[in-house]
């Protein structure tokens, strides 16, 4: 027997829907494609699973910080039930099973993403600070190719 949660009532979500915060908007659960409004401007999107009571705290945190975000930053709150739903509207996102998931979009492109609890004190820096360039292990190894670490080689015992 399969079921799907279509609607959920939660106090923070009700405040968002009531329009208490001008820059916070509820986003539809499980859209087929990304909304056109997310392709313009700067958006902080928090994606929260409906089945995780502890992750719902992220909604309280982001609404508490909504007025402290830089001008022009919109906040979207989206519920999800299955991880595959995220790929439908954000196909270039790194996939993770950690929740909640945080995405910073600029004109529809992912600038930053983070997985897991962010906390009130880290939301504004997440939005404000420039993204850190991530490097793979091999990129880092090439960068230190002249160092002593790169000179080390595995040797079989005699």
Q: In this predicted model, what pLDDT tens digit does every residue of 92-114 receive, in sequence order?
A: 888 888 889 999 999 999 999 99
Share of the chain above pLDDT 70, in %: 69
Mean pLDDT of the chain: 76
**Structural domain boundaries enclosing 50:** 11-133
Secondary structure of residue 103 in the 3-state scheme: strand
Q: Select from 128, 118, 122 the least CA-distant residue to 57.
A: 118
Selection from 2-16, 30-44, 138-152 with the highest mean pLDDT:
30-44
Number of Cβ atoms within 10 Å of the Cβ of 24: 24
Q: Is residue 1 part of a domain?
A: no
User: Measured between alpha carbons, how far is 109 from 76 in angstroms, rounded to an integer?
Assistant: 15
Number of structural domains found in the chain: 1
User: Measured between alpha carbons, how far is 130 from 132 in angstroms, rounded to an integer?
Assistant: 7
Separation in Å, CA 9 to CA 60, 67, 142: 14, 23, 52
Residue 9, classified by CB atoms within 10 Å of its CB into exposed (0-12), middle (13-18) or buried (19+), is: exposed
- Contact (Cβ atoms closer than 8 angstroms) between residue 59 and residue 10: yes
N-term to C-term CA, the chain: 62
* pTM exceeding 0.75: no
Bridge partner list, 79: 48
Tokens of 155: 């040797």
pLDDT at 66: 82
Mean pLDDT of 29-35: 86
pLDDT at 133: 62
Q: Select from 73, 78, 121, 80 the least CA-distant residue to 97.
A: 80
Q: Is residue 79 part of a domain?
A: yes
The CATH number of the domain where 52 resides is what? 3.40.30.10
Tokens of 144: 């230190």
Secondary structure of residue 40 in the 3-state scheme: coil
């Amino acid at each position: 027997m399969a079921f799907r949660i279509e609607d959920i009532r939660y106090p923070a979500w009700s405040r968002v829907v009531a329009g208490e915060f001008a820059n916070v908007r509820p986003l539809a659960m499980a859209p087929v494609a990304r909304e056109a409004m997310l392709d313009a401007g700067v958006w902080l999107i928090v994606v929260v699973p409906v089945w995780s009571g502890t992750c719902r705290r992220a909604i309280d945190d982001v609404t508490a910080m909504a007025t402290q975000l830089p001008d022009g930053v919109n906040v979207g709150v989206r519920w999800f039930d299955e991880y595959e739903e995220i790929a439908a509207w954000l196909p270039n996102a790194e996939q993770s099973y950690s929740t909640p998931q945080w995405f910073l979009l600029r004109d529809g492109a992912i600038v930053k993403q983070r997985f897991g609890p962010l906390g009130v004190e880290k939301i504004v820096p997440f939005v404000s600070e420039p993204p850190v360039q991530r490097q793979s292990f091999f990129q880092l190894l090439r960068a230190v190719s002249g160092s002593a670490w790169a000179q080390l080689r595995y040797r079989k015992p005699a």
